[in-house]
């Protein structure tokens, strides 16, 4: 009898988020699932970890099913660290993070707690995928995502992922019949043009709300932004080695003598 794969599920929207509940249900059809997820929303936390406060984790029971679930007081990256070091009895065959409520395409990957959890798993040598749906609503429908999420997860288990790489998957918010397929892409060159909405408290103290708009500066038809705008699920192989290898030779020509 073939042993079912062990799958670690996490996210950044919190353990009760509908996106995570969908991901758990899909992964239960593939393998043995253990959930370790934040006890509250952690969006935009990036790769933050808990260093100066106590970290808690307790077993919880959300949905009926074979999965084991743990609610963690820390960040998405904390959840993966804790799962690997304390909760699991062996290394997972796969880590999936999400399904995030909202986009993690292009530059959003830098800020994403969803992708940081996947990256943390990748650092541990675990094949990992971050899934996101382009709908920020808590009541978003994830039905169209399910068959594609399952297909991608099964493909990773079958083929593996090279060391140092994780997959960033974004799903357009359109009916299943309108999704043209999965397109392997590169990350688009883009950024947020940010502003701060400055206000005053009743006591006269200044405070700020971060606002802004997303600007895609990339006209290429091989990017995640193009794929999403044209009805495709984008799949970007992302690496967490941030070294600009192509610039090393140039830097070595500089004179740093003092």
Are residues 97 and 79 in contact, defined by beta-carbon separation less than 8 angstroms? Answer: no
Print pLDDT tens along the chain (258 aa).
468 999 999 999 999 999 999 999 999 999 999 999 999 878 777 888 888 899 999 999 988 888 999 999 999 999 999 999 999 999 999 999 999 999 999 988 998 999 999 999 999 999 999 999 999 999 999 999 999 999 999 999 999 999 999 999 999 999 999 999 999 999 999 888 888 889 999 999 999 988 888 888 888 899 999 999 999 999 999 999 999 999 999 999 999 998
Does the model's pTM come out above 0.85? yes
Instruction: Give the C-alpha distances (Å, rounded to integers) separating 5 from 84, 140, 205, 227.
Output: 15, 29, 55, 31
Distance from C-alpha of 222 to C-alpha of 229, rounded to nearest angstrom = 12
**Which domains does the chain carry?**
6-188+220-252 (3.40.1210.10)
Place of tokens 């899934």: 131
Long-range pairs for 154-160 at CB < 8 Å and ≥24 separation?
Answer: 154/30, 156/94, 156/127, 156/129, 157/5, 157/30, 157/31, 157/93, 157/94, 157/127, 160/127
């Amino acid at each position: 009898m073939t042993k079912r794969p062990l799958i670690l599920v996490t996210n950044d929207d919190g353990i009760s988020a509908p996106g995570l509940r969908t991901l758990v249900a899909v992964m239960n059809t593939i393998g043995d699932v253990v959930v370790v997820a934040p006890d509250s929303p952690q969006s935009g936390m990036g790769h933050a970890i808990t260093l100066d406060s106590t970290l808690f984790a307790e077993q919880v029971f959300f949905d009926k099913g074979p999965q084991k679930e743990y609610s963690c007081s820390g960040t998405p990256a904390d959840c993966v660290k804790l799962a690997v070091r304390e909760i699991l009895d062996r290394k997972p065959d796969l880590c999936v993070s999400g399904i995030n409520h909202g986009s993690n395409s292009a530059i959003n990957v830098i800020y994403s707690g969803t992708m940081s959890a996947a990256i943390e798993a990748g650092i541990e040598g675990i094949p990992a995928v971050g899934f996101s749906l382009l709908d920020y609503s808590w009541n978003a429908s994830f039905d169209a995502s399910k068959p594609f999420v399952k297909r991608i997860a099964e493909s990773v288990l079958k083929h593996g992922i090279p060391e140092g790489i994780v997959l960033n998957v974004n799903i357009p918010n359109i009916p299943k019949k309108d999704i043209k397929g999965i397109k392997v892409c590169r990350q688009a060159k883009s950024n947020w043009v940010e502003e701060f909405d400055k206000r005053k408290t009743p006591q006269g103290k200044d405070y700020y709300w971060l606002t802004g708009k997303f600007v895609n500066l990339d006209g290429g038809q091989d990017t995640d932004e193009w794929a999403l705008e044209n009805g495709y699920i984008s799949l970007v192989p992302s690496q967490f080695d941030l070294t600009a290898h192509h610039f090393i030779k140039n830097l070595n020509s500089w004179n740093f003598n003092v």
